[in-house]
Structure 1
């Protein structure tokens, strides 16, 4: 779809209003195309119109958006909910994303942010520490990986 590619190019080059105009027109022309809805959500997010992005993300997922775009829509919607203080909604989206794509670590990290916002500090830290230990190539982190993982769920414990 030529217009969709043009809109993506405009978004990527910072011509956000132009991208938004094209995408809104495309939704009117082809309301069943999940990629158009996703790109429209994305451009609203980039324009800091988070609240307006939500229905576009939701519709793209309802229309069975696929592959990388679907993964991006989960992240975008969950992150948008979080930034708007809609923590319970964000939690549900990230839990679904984690179930659907268990190997995508970014969902764990954003989920930890949500849990922090919900004052579940120990759980948030545990998630982050596990992600750090499992993904860091830093020599010191790897040297102490076993200890980091051991303490990740025992941060409040006081050892006698």
Structure 2
């Protein structure tokens, strides 16, 4: 098989998934995985195909292979890490989700989707305080809702200290 053939077959499989032919895409991607077990792009797309079919447990080894080595674009690596962390969380593997998503947010510190999924996983491992702090930080930084923007200083204050109580007035966003 020529290198271009892999590119063509991979692109066709992705198109199948994107156009709702998910089971056919999954079957084609599994065949590509058998032929190209070291290709991280094929691993990522195979994981994604399993995930969208609700086959999370089957997606995990493909995600793991996808993020294990170089070769993914930055966007695909970010997506694979999010997919793996989210899938771990869905499967009740909360500690694995926290570890994966924590590493991913360190690698991609500006990615608020990763932070949001990490906040959920932190909640699942009993670290609700940390999860809430992270979620409030994301909300304050990203919301354009005028009702949120008006309280941004207070939200940022409480994100730093969720246990703060009435005091000097700095937490109410009015000074």
Query: If the length of structure 1 is used for normalisation, what is the TM-score?
Result: 0.94
Q: Distance in 2 between matches of 1:90 and 1:100?
A: 15
Q: What SS does the corresponding residue of 1:152 show, helix, strand or coil?
A: helix
Identify the residue that residue 108 of structure 1 maps to in structure 2: 115
| Residue 56 (structure 1) aligns with | 62
1:35 aligns with 2:51: no
Match of 1:87? 94
Structure 2: tracts of 5 or more residues without a match: 1-6, 168-175
Partner of 1:141: 148
Residue pair 1:129, 1:149 contacting (<8 A) in 2 also: yes
Count of residues in Structure 1 that have an aligned counterpart in Structure 2: 160
Provide the rounded CA distance (Å) in 2 between the counterparts of 1:125 and 1:100.
Answer: 21
CA contact (8 A) 1:123 1:153 kept: no
Indicate the SS of the match to 2:20: coil
Name the structure 2 match of 1:156: 163
Structure 1, gaps ≥5 residues long = none
Determine helix, strand or coil for the equivalent of 1:31: coil
Deviations 1:79-129 (A, max 9, x none): 000011101101110111011111111111000000111121221111111
Instruction: Tell me if the contact between 1:115 and 1:123 (Cα under 8 Å) persists in the aligned partners.
Output: yes
SS at 1:156's partner residue? Answer: coil
Task: Give the secondary-structure state (helix, strand or coil) at the position aligned to 1:61.
Answer: helix
- Per the TM alignment, residue 66 of structure 1 is displaced from its structure 2 partner at its CA by 2.9
What is the RMSD computed on CA atoms of the aligned residues? 1.3
